[in-house]
Amino acid sequence: MFIINAIVFYVGAILCRDRVITIEGMFKSILAITFATMSAGNNAAFAGDIGAAKNASKNIFEILDSEDEF
């Protein structure tokens, strides 16, 4: 992971040197991409729970829709 960060900062420095982007733009884009990938990773951790949640909601609606036994 550290090699990827090093490459990203190296390429960003070259782009800043050539005045393609500003330093502020480079840091904004790096932080945006970093936070997006972190969020995607956190959301992927809950992917297995989605199936359990669907099954639980199905069971709840079956209970609510069932006839009273009185």
User: Which candidate, 7, 26, 6, places its Cα nearest to that of 16?
Assistant: 26
- The tokens of 69 are what? 């036994």
| pLDDT at res. 6 | 92
| pLDDT at res. 46 | 79
Q: Specify the length of the chain in residues.
A: 70
Model confidence pLDDT, tens digit, residues 16-36 = 999 999 999 999 999 999 999
| pLDDT at res. 67 | 80
Compute the mean pLDDT over every residue in the chain, rounded to the nearest whole number.
89
The pLDDT of residue 8 is above 70: yes
Task: Provide, rounded to the nearest whole percent, the portion of the chain with pLDDT above 90.
Answer: 59
The conformation of residue 18, written as its DSSP 8-state character, comes to: T
